[in-house]
């Protein structure tokens, strides 16, 4: 696949997450938007394949197939309790997996500079950009710190099942809390140092823009929103 063709603008990715959450996760529009829902369910897998995220794409696809199989249980098992549980579990999984997949794609393929550039082009307030920028980098950094703490505990022979089991939580949670505060402060300081809170229009060397696929998605979003609006007003 041509990765340049499938490279989306950060703003398109954001709208894609929002429309997927509305149509697939919350099921707005009911059966009138069934075709739109099927398209939005398939889109994350196509984009993940284009980015060569084969492992995550396969896991998500298998999870989605399992959710559909669970939804089929009431038709082959005549038990009201099991049927109700199957419908609830299957419905939740079939809605969440595509939404999580598209969010994973957006985070995985969007650089921080691209995200900031996209927000600035949308004229989003710096009061929103700075917290989002911090959150964007916080979780990956926190994951690295957690791994470092875990490795340090293993080197000291501290693990579950030993004599020091009672202190494992203490040795993990307290350092993680301290690291969380420190990481948040450092990321906030880094964002401010780069001029995000200067109040002056910043330049950005990151070039973003809409391509053919972006315009195709934006047209799809517009049609979906119009259809939702028509259903809401009863047309």
Output the DSSP codes for 153-215.
HHHTT--TTSTTGGGHHHHHHHHHHHHHHHHHHHHHHHHHHTTTTSSSPPP--------HHHH
Which of 56, 53, 50 is CA-nearest to residue 4?
50
Helix residue ranges per DSSP H, 21-155: 34-50, 54-76, 80-109, 112-121, 126-155
For residue 160, the model assigns a pLDDT of 58
Single pTM value for the model:
0.75
Burial class (CB in 10 A: 0-12, 13-18, 19+), 25: middle
Q: What is the C-alpha to C-alpha distance for residues 222 and 214, in angstroms, rounded to an integer?
A: 12
Q: Would the pLDDT of 174 be above 90?
A: no
Q: Would the pLDDT of 1 be above 60?
A: no
3-state helix, strand, coil in the chain (%, to 5): 75, 0, 25
| Torsion sign (Cα): 193, 196, 198, 200 | positive
For residue 168, the model assigns a pLDDT of 65
Residue with tokens 């950009």, as numbered in its chain: 129
- Indicate the average pLDDT of the chain: 80
Q: What is the C-alpha to C-alpha distance for residues 166 and 201, in angstroms, rounded to an integer?
A: 53
Q: Would the pLDDT of 63 be above 90?
A: yes
For residue 183, the model assigns a pLDDT of 77
> pLDDT category, 155, cuts 50, 70, 90?
confident
CB distance 144 to 180 below 8 Å = no
DSSP-assigned letter for residue 35 = H
Instruction: Give, to the nearest 10 degrees, the angle between helix 112-121 and helix 126-155.
Output: 160
Q: Would the pLDDT of 165 be above 60?
A: no
- pLDDT tens sequence across 122-154: 888 777 877 777 777 777 777 788 888 878 777
| Cα separations in angstroms, 212 against 12, 110, 192, 222, 224 | 12, 18, 35, 15, 18
- pLDDT tens sequence across 71-113: 888 888 777 788 888 888 988 999 999 999 999 998 888 887 8
* Residue partners of 10: CB distance under 8 A and separation at least 6: 106, 110, 114, 115, 117, 118, 119, 208
For residue 198, the model assigns a pLDDT of 63
Q: What is the C-alpha to C-alpha distance for residues 24 and 187, in angstroms, rounded to an integer?
A: 33
With vertex at residue 223, the alpha carbon angle to CA 222 and CA 226, rounded to the nearest 5 degrees, is 85
DSSP-assigned letter for residue 203 = P
> Domain ranges in the chain?
10-110+209-232, 115-193
């Amino acid at each position: 696949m041509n990765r340049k063709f499938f490279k989306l603008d950060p703003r398109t990715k954001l709208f894609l997450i929002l429309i997927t959450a509305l149509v697939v996760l919350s099921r707005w529009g009911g059966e009138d938007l069934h075709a739109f829902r099927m398209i939005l369910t398939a889109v994350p897998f196509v984009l993940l394949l284009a980015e060569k995220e084969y492992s995550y794409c396969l896991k998500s696809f298998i999870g989605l197939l399992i959710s559909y199989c669970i939804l089929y249980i009431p038709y082959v098992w005549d038990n009201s309790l099991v049927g109700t549980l199957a419908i609830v579990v299957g419905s939740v999984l079939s809605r969440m997996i595509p939404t999580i997949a598209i969010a994973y794609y957006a985070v995985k393929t969007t650089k921080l500079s691209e995200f900031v550039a996209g927000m600035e082009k949308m004229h989003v307030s710096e009061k929103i950009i700075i917290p989002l920028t911090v959150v964007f980098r916080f979780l990956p950094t926190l994951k690295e710190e957690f791994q470092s703490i875990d490795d340090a505990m293993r080197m000291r022979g501290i693990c579950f099942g030993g004599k020091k089991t009672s202190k494992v939580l203490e040795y993990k949670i307290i350092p993680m809390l301290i690291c969380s505060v420190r990481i948040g402060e450092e990321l906030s300081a880094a964002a401010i140092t780069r001029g995000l809170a200067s109040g002056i229009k910043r330049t950005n060397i990151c070039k973003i823009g809409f391509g053919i696929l972006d315009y195709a998605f934006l047209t799809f979003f517009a049609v979906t929103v119009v259809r939702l609006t028509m259903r809401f007003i009863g047309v």
